Amino acid sequence: MDAKLINGKQVAKDIKAELKQKVAMLREKGITPGLAAVLIGDDPASATYVKSKARACEKIGMFSEVIRRPADTSQEEVETIVRELNGRDDIDGILVQSPLPKHLNEFAVTLLIDPNKDVDGFHPHSVGLLLMGKPSFRSCTPYGIIELMRRYDINPSGKEVVVLGRSNIVGKPMAALLMQKSDMANATVTIAHSRTADIAGVCRRADILIAAIGQPLFVKGDMVKEGAVIIDVGINRIDDSSTEKGYRLVGDVDFDECVKKASYITPVPGGVGPMTIAMLLTNTVQSAERRGRIK
């Protein structure tokens, strides 16, 4: 049995088309959703990601602004930028692209972002509301995974879900979303990580396995239960002399082995990755809709 592929690229495209209609309606009311990205330094991956976000905004009619500063920018200057964005009526979402240069205090910068504009879902205010099951901005990658499952009719209610990884960006908020008493939740959740004893045995219990451990091809076929749903969050470069670039992208899951046992599986690339930007745009449009109601 080969698994059905979960096409995140297509789902993200569908979501953007839906958002484009919402943005058009908001603009008719004089409100243009605005997203500001702060990019400190010249990290190529960060620059590419921010460029993709800006392009995605423009395609659906949103306003996008990228604020670039050199790697030696001071903590005070970064905080001044965030405070100014907090006060701007044309900005509904603020993201400070991670990672920041090592001399900067990233957590202090996150704390300064207005929770009403925290479209990354990283502020403690958003995280606290998420844990309490209250409406908040949800971290974009976990939010995207929930939306993928929703659109493929994969309901986690009553299922045993194993989340591989305990990061603040994916693992922890993913578990928090799945354990809620709400739609597309009500799962029995286990978080597995580098200190988990018999991690393969834990993975084999999973009806739904979400891999976000940051280790290429970590999940092998013998770690997966027959018929499991596999969501691969990992994006890793591995050397491959047979390709023009000299490398290829792989996930945290050994796709070739696991596709034979899973019922559904996300590919890498083209699975979870495109959903992160789609849900960032979703959060920003929701913020703009809130501004419209206040206005």
State how far the alpha carbon of 54 is from the alpha carbons of 38, 66, 67, 131, 144, in Å.
11, 7, 11, 30, 18
State how far the alpha carbon of 78 is from the alpha carbons of 33, 39, 75, 83, in Å.
23, 10, 5, 9
- Find out whether 112 and 82 touch, Cβ atoms under 8 Å: yes
Beta bridge partners of 198: none
Q: Which helix (H) or strand (E) holds 16?
A: helix 8-28
State how far the alpha carbon of 176 is from the alpha carbons of 163, 173, 180, 189, 284, in Å.
11, 5, 7, 9, 21
Distance CA 234, CA 252 (A): 5
Distance CA 215, CA 10 (A): 26
Chain centre to alpha carbon of residue 1: 29
Q: Kindly report whether the peptide bond that precedes residue 269 is cis, defined as omega within 30 degrees of 0.
A: yes
Active site residues: 53, 97, 120
Supply φ then ψ for residue 286, to 5 degrees: -60, -40
